[in-house]
């Protein structure tokens, strides 16, 4: 069984930055991972994904150029650096991992409980 625990959320002013972390435990993860988010009253959406070796990444159009996903497989941790934050980035951010795929970071099998990011002045 895999457990994913997110951290780093909080309140930030527009234009500010936050770095989210996702620590995986239970067994070593060498598969694709990603970040998703769900804003109030909206469906959960893909934000960013990364392949097992970090060589391939993908981003939602709305965050491209502002967010950066990375991973440290030695620490079983994936990160999401968020810069130039906007009020519309306010959401609960979820870390997710694939059970079997090295490159597919859209269809995920394991999910964290989420961390709240609020962008407001």
The pLDDT tens digits for 24-44 are 987 667 899 999 999 999 999
- How much is the pLDDT for 28? 61
Handedness of CA 120, 8, 92, 84 (dihedral sign): positive
- How much is the pLDDT for 35? 98
Q: Are 95 and 52 in contact (CB under 8 A)?
A: no
Distances in whole angstroms, Cα of residue 38 to Cα of each of 35, 68, 75, 84, 101:
11, 18, 26, 19, 24
Q: Check residue 26 and report its DSSP letter.
A: S
Task: List the one residue out of 41, 44, 18, 22 whose CA is nearest residue 33.
Answer: 22
CA distance 22 to 100: 18
- How much is the pLDDT for 105? 87
Q: Which residue positions in the chain have pLDDT lower than 50?
A: none
Task: List the one residue out of 55, 56, 33 whose CA is nearest residue 46.
Answer: 33
- How much is the pLDDT for 91? 98
- How much is the pLDDT for 42? 96
């Amino acid at each position: 069984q895999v457990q994913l625990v997110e951290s780093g959320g909080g309140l930030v002013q527009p234009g500010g930055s936050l770095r989210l972390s996702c620590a995986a435990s239970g067994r070593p993860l060498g598969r694709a991972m990603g970040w998703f988010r769900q804003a109030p009253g909206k469906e959960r959406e893909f934000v960013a994904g990364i392949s097992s070796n970090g060589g391939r990444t993908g981003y939602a159009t709305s965050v491209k150029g502002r967010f950066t996903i990375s991973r440290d497989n030695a620490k079983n941790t994936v990160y999401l650096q968020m810069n130039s934050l906007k009020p519309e980035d306010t959401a609960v951010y979820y870390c997710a991992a694939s059970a079997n795929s090295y490159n597919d970071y859209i269809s995920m099998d394991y999910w964290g409980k989420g961390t709240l990011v609020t962008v407001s002045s």
